[in-house]
Amino acid sequence: MSNVGPHLIVKPIAGALGAEIHGVNLLSPISDAELAQIREIWLQYSVVFFRDQPLPPKDFSAFAQRFGDVVHYPFLKGLDEAPEVITVAKLEHERVNFGGLWHTDTAYLDVPPMATMLIAREVPEYGGDTLFASGYAAYDALSEGMKRMLEPLRAINSSSKAEKTRTREDRKPGQERQVLEAEHPVIRTHPETGRKALYVNGGHTLRFVDMTEDESAGLLAYLFEHQTRPEFTCRFTWQPGSIALWDNRCALHNPVNDYHGHRRIMHRVTLAGDRPQ
């Protein structure tokens, strides 16, 4: 645990990424200086967490927008009082959770979001944690030969893969959905930190450009397994009023689906990013 200013206290939760930020009350206005400190911590740790911050939807959205512009999720309608906020829910009778596999958010868009902010409203008495993994650590651990091979490669990411894995919340039997696809570099350079990250994900990445899915499958399977090695990850246990802010440009996440028969209700905002380079 370290002090980074008059009030903020940073508590790393794992070696590769993730830190809790204490000493700030988000229910009160925070200064530009405090926000700049939070952003610096976020860029260092890729995902940051706040405890006991029960922000109403409009205030939650307003806090998120201090970091960037909102981008609307293409498949779900937002809240009436805050249209940019969507509900991520799994109810007692449901068996499939939203986004329940390792992925980065909406990599099938030409310009994927920079970041995602999630707040817990209702959580099960056990389970429902979220795992995060560092794209930086995954890249750094690759051999020099593998880095050279991957550097020029680009990959096709598709929303159809999320349909096949049954992890889209808007999924309904017999209902056709628009398929969105985008081409991105396999190795992405972060526009703010300058660090390189492995930028493929099992939720959306179909194949390499100019290769078939069959030709791509072996190497992609290796990369998907490599990027979620335990030493590259952290795990966060939610409580009502907990907030997570993760950097979608360099971190994957996976909500654990281990609470069948219980309710989990979250609110989410995504923030506009840049075209991966």
Q: What whole-number distance in Å separates Cα of residue 137 and Cα of residue 198?
A: 8
268 is catalytic: yes
* 194 burial type by CB count under 10 A (0-12 exposed, 13-18 middle, 19+ buried): exposed
Active-site residue, from 190, 253, 264, 267: 253
175 pLDDT more than 80: no
| Edge-to-edge strands, sheet with 251-255 | 233-236, 130-134, 251-255
Q: What whole-number distance in Å separates Cα of residue 259 and Cα of residue 273?
A: 32
Active-site residue, from 103, 184, 249, 267: 103
138 pLDDT more than 90: yes
For residue 134, name the pLDDT band (cuts at 50, 70, 90). very high
Active-site residue, from 105, 188, 190, 264: 105
Specify the DSSP class assigned to residue 105. Answer: T
Please answer whether residues 8 and 41 qualify as being in contact, where contact means their C-beta atoms are separated by less than 8 angstroms.
yes
Stretch 228-234: mean pLDDT, rounded?
98
Residue for token pair 């990445």: 205
Q: What whole-number distance in Å separates Cα of residue 2 and Cα of residue 100?
A: 33
103 is catalytic: yes
Please report the pLDDT score of residue 158 as a whole number. Answer: 95
Stretch 204-212: mean pLDDT, rounded?
97
Please report the pLDDT score of residue 96 as a whole number. Answer: 92
Please answer whether residues 79 and 276 qualify as being in contact, where contact means their C-beta atoms are separated by less than 8 angstroms.
no
pLDDT over 90 for what percent of the chain?
85
What are the DSSP calls for 170-184, one per residue? T--TT------EEEE
167 pLDDT more than 70: no
pLDDT tens digits, one per residue of 57-67: 999 999 999 99
- Pick the range with the lowest mean pLDDT from 60-64, 157-161, 181-185, 223-227: 157-161
> Is the pTM higher than 0.85?
yes
Active-site residue, from 188, 190, 264, 268: 268
- Architecture per CATH, domain 2-271, reads as 4-Layer Sandwich (3.60)
Domain ranges of the chain: 2-271
253 is catalytic: yes
For residue 161, name the pLDDT band (cuts at 50, 70, 90). confident
Can you list the alpha helix ranges (DSSP code H) found in 141-249?
A: 144-150, 159-164, 213-226
- Helix, strand, or coil here: 62? helix
